[in-house]
Amino acid sequence: MQRAIGVALIGVGVVLLIFGVSAADSLASDVSRFFTGEPTDRAIWLIIGGVGSIIAGSVMAMLPGRSLRRS
């Protein structure tokens, strides 16, 4: 079960990362970058959330799951 949740988190992270990169290349982000030198906050948070989700999902998928049986 833990591995399935990890793989799902990786999938969500990839989607968030794609949306973040797309938002960073948008017209609103270009206008924000012109005045502030940075892309919009939404684009930054989508990218951060995507990377964090990919990392968390990778860790969950790599760790061994606990057994339900007690010996």
Side chain identity, residue 37: G
pLDDT attached to residue 14:
97
Q: How confident is the model at residue 49 (pLDDT cuts 50, 70, 90)?
A: very high
Question: pLDDT band at 45, cuts 50/70/90?
Answer: very high
pLDDT digits (tens, 9 = 90+) for 3-21: 999 999 999 999 999 999 9
Q: At what angle do helices 41-62 and 2-24 cross, to 10 degrees?
A: 160
Chain centroid to Cα 19, Å, comes to 10
Judge contact between 47 and 70, C-beta under 8 A: no
- Tell me, what's the pLDDT at 34? 86
| Mean pLDDT (the chain, rounded) | 89
- For 35, phi then psi, to 5°, come to -85, -35
With a cut of 70, say whether residue 23 has pLDDT above it. yes
